[in-house]
Amino acid sequence: MIDPSKPDYMNTPASDRRPDSSYAPADPAAPPCVTILTPYWNNAAPVFEETARSVFRQSLQQWEWLIINDCTTDPQALQLLDRFRDCDPRVRVIDNQKNLGLAGSRNVGFEAARADFVFLLDDDDMLEPTALEEMWWFLLSYPEYAAVSGYEVGFGAKEYLWPTGFVAGERNLVNNHVSGRALV
């Protein structure tokens, strides 16, 4: 976990210094607890492989990952995406027939999700190793809440720690303090 008082921006969730929970459930066909939903468009950057590494390293392994290909045209991005089509039975790549943009691709993913809980993860973001487990348990433990998120940390060209979110309460009616990464 990143220490908010002294962030180490080199120790990303995809870092080899992080724990690896890359085991699989005993029954890969078991229904997922969480659907991870990732719109994908023309991302040939190495950061997508880091996104994937952070998904596979989750302490909660009973997930499905829907990668929604929003009509990618870049040959390198298509080649990278093809590596994930048959890499794990919990990963499904869904190809849009036309470019729908971020919101439309998310809607496609919500329609295809098999879990009651859906985590929104962009194709250039990473998850802390226990993020899904902690968020899932939070929503199970506090059914009066409909969504949960955590701190956001920027890595690479722009390093930052964004410690606000749903805790901002009514201030969100004036300015949105919540990132796009949330379990709903």
Partners of 94 in beta bridges: 68
Q: In what order do the strands lie in the sheet with 91-95?
A: 91-95, 63-69, 34-40, 117-120
Give 15's contacts (C-beta < 8 A, 6+ positions apart).
none
As a whole number of angstroms, the distance between CA 124 and CA 159 comes to 14
- Asked if 179 contacts 135 with a C-beta cutoff of 8 angstroms, the reply is no
- Asked if 46 contacts 118 with a C-beta cutoff of 8 angstroms, the reply is no
User: pLDDT 10s digit of each residue in the chain, 184 long?
Assistant: 667 677 777 777 777 777 666 566 778 778 999 999 999 999 877 889 988 988 998 989 999 999 999 999 999 999 999 999 989 999 999 999 999 999 999 999 999 999 999 999 988 888 888 889 999 999 999 999 888 887 666 666 666 565 665 555 666 566 655 556 788 9
How high is the pLDDT of residue 108? 98
As a whole number of angstroms, the distance between CA 105 and CA 21 comes to 29
As a whole number of angstroms, the distance between CA 167 and CA 152 comes to 13
